[in-house]
A and B are shown apart, each in its own frame.
Chain A
Amino acid sequence: MNPTPLYSYASDPAWADLLPLPQDDGQYPLAQIAYTEEYTEAMSYLRAIMAKNEHSPRVLQVTAHIIEMNPAHYTIWVYRAKTLFALSATGEVQLGRELEFLNDLALRHQKNYQIWNHRQTVVEAIAAAAAPAEQEQLVREEKEFMNRMFEQDGKNYHVWSYRQWLVRRFEAWDGELSFVSALLERDVRNNSAWNHRFFVVFGGGGMDARQQGEGEVVEEVVEREIAFIEDAVFIAPQNASAWNYLRGVLKKVHRPLSSVESMCLGYAPLDNPDKITSSHALDLLADIYAEKREEHGKAVKALELLAAKFDPIRANYWNYRVGLVKASV
């Protein structure tokens, strides 16, 4: 039971010239929804004004109203953006205000993706008209707002995706490494943060890449990353994120997996299974030993320990890997 809406388009003189366009659901509609009267009325006026392709201030009113009830309405966002840009060109609207509107929405609709897509369009338009100092300010404020989002959910896919776009678009790499290190300090299992670290270190254009020109990563950076991983694994040996990152780094810089054998043995001494603290170390050892025929026995042993004791949920997978090792002879 929804209370009668306080506002109605039908009784607002500003909308009196428009004939609302009701929805025709037809016969045998699929997935019919129990709309509220408020939504039904607003949508009828939206359709009417969209059919006229009007770009006036009242478009901002009805689109904001509907977005509040249904932020996943996709065409409405593009219509709103077009209207905003038209009104901003004539000075009737300030685009900065749109970001405030979006901040409030994004905090309340964490899972929505259209909000971030729209934000990108708006920020792009603001930046196009901004002086360098204003751009820097804009980027700083965007990062600050994302931090607020991450406080609520440090793994929000849309926000991370947006952050990568922002960093790349504005060459805003400064501070990213310390930002992501701080997040990982708070939660070493935050895989999104690990992923962002990979982007910052190897994504091109970052401090690390710039130091040594195209394509290559300086030794110092590799050592720093490996030391960082070693610390993270020490805190949480069973944290898959850190081990996956390790594999990613080694592959990226063309180092053999065997270069971390001793580190793996620290968490998975094959000759002393009682002391094994990480299934991921065992998995890595299996890959290291599978590369050399004379060490296949050790690879099989690691995989059998995984299947039987350290990761039995994936027993089928580990046994399949045993088969691959044996078949590779």
Chain B
Amino acid sequence: MSVSAPLTLQKQKHLKYWLRCLRTCLPTDYTTTDLNRLTLGFFCIAALDLLGCLQTETTEGDRAGWINWIYKNQLPTGGFRGSPATELGGGEGGSEWDPPIVPASFFALVALVSLGDDLERVRKRGLLELLPKVQREDGSFGEWLGGDGQIIGGSDMRFVYCAVAIRWILRGREGEGMLEGIEDIDVEGVVRFIKSAESYEHGISDKAFGEAHAGLTYCAIGALALLGRLHPTSDGLSTHANILRWLTSRQVPSQAHDELKDEEYESRVANGTEQEITAGATITCGVDGKPLWAGFNGRCNKKTDTCYSFWVCGSLDMMKKLHLIDFNSNRRFLLEKTQHFIGGFAKLPVPGTPPDILHSFMGLASLALMREEGLNRLDPTLCISMQAKERLVNMGWWRDATV
């Protein structure tokens, strides 16, 4: 089997894809993400930033317009709604059904920073005061606060990460704020919760006894990193050796049947002849004997998926161990198996899968961590470009906060 030269990053096509996402309506299929429009908006902005095109391909007027739009979704009490879809015209008091959302508030902040905003208009006190109110006894966080003070949203490592990241951004590196007298979150509780969610496989799950999952593991490691607790002697993980085994095990060589659609996979692999099964399991190796393509899965014995190339690589990068994966085969998996010819990345290496915003960003982000030529470098912890993070930590109020 002849293997052609590896594809390169189709930068112009990605640029076009992202500009289209920013400037025209997303297809109706995105209706199921309607309540997460600040999240989608962040991905669009941050992707252009990674491509190094945010300043050149958009005008100052565009960026100021987007910044204003994000602030339009800030609530009078502090924090951001996830989408204009929940705006009820509640006035200063707000409305029970138009609450600030923890993940949306995180994505709003990082989108603003990426756009060059100085966060001066962020109602910092209100947002910081929300955080301890949405933290539970067990250290975990909810997604928002109900009208009766009830913490809403499943126990979920994603909310833990977002809450801790908001705190880091608004209070400064040491967690000792310029904003005096604001109740802090229970940091030890967070660490305890993360520890309790480490499974017997030594990945992190949603809660004690849940299944280890790479996305949740990223959130847990990110939260520990932002709390300054990601080092072998004081962190919430059993040992780094254990989690490194689990993380590096997520990289798996592409097999021929990975490219089959679900129904075909069922008929040929699950119920196929011995010959079909063997053919499906074929792995193509290069001259060095290593598999040519190897992306990442999110759980043991699951299929590879573009987003896990980021969740796993980001986790390893925060642990300063990204060099333990095989760069070449991850790069080829992304560029040759999921990069789409119209730009963007598809979720799965199945031909015909369209690109989508989440996976298109994650594909770029994974490549950026591996220092792909033509991309800006990515800060693995906040998931924004290193330039954007530099701007944040050099803002006057932020620097003062760390004194």
Q: Write the residues of chain A forming the contact surface with B, with a CB cutoff of 8 angstroms.
A: 2, 21, 23-36, 39, 43, 47, 50-51, 53, 69-75, 78-79, 113, 116-117, 155, 157, 160-161, 164, 189-192, 195, 198-199, 203, 239-241, 244-245, 247-249, 251-252, 283, 309, 312-317, 320, 324
Among B99, B143, B201, B326, which residue has its beta carbon within 8 angstroms of that of A248? B201
User: Is the CB–CB distance between B291 and A247 below 8 Å?
Assistant: no
Chain B residue contacts of A315, Cβ below 8 A: 290, 326
- Taking the nearest CB of chain A, how far is it from the CB of B315, in angstroms? 14
Contact A34 B26 (CB under 8 A): yes
Given A23-B84, A23-B87, A195–B210 Cβ distance below 8 Å? yes
Residues from chain A with a CB closer than 8 A to the CB of B323 are: 316
Query: Is the Cβ of B68 less than 8 Å from the Cβ of A316?
Result: no
Q: A51-B88, A155-B302, A241-B301 are in contact. Are A30 and B200 (CB under 8 A)?
A: no
CB within 8 A of B72: which of A26, A78, A316?
A26
Taking a contact as CB atoms under 8 Å apart, the answer to whether B35 and A70 are in contact is yes
Complex contact B201–A313 (CB within 8 A):
no
Interface size for B (C-beta < 8 A) is 80
Interchain Cβ contacts under 8 Å between A and B, 23 examples: A27-B68, A28-B62, A30-B40, A30-B111, A43-B85, A47-B88, A51-B89, A51-B95, A69-B31, A74-B144, A75-B98, A113-B154, A191-B300, A192-B211, A198-B200, A199-B209, A240-B300, A247-B200, A248-B201, A314-B325, A316-B325, A317-B248, A320-B321
What distance in Å separates the Cβ of B298 from its nearest Cβ neighbour in chain A? 9
> Which residues of the other chain, B, contact A113 by a CB distance below 8 angstroms?
154
Mark B82-101 against chain A: 1 for CB-CB distance below 8 A, else 0.
10111111100001111101
**Per DSSP, are chain A's interface residues mostly helix, strand or loop, or mixed?**
helix
Cβ-neighbour of A28 out of B68, B85, B88, B101 (below 8 A): B68
Chain A residues near B302 (CB, 8 Å)?
155, 191
Complex: how many Å from CA A155 to CA B98?
A: 34
Across-interface contacts of B36 in A (CB, < 8 A): 72
Q: A198 vs B145: C-alpha distance in the bound complex, in angstroms? A: 34
Q: How far does the alpha carbon of A75 sit from the alpha carbon of B299 in the complex, in Å? A: 30
Which of A33, A72, A245 meets B28, CB within 8 Å?
A33
- Which A residues lie within 8 Å of B294 (CB)? 313
- Nearest chain A CB to B232's CB is how many angstroms away? 13
Bound together, the chains give a CA A34 to CA B25 distance in angstroms of 5
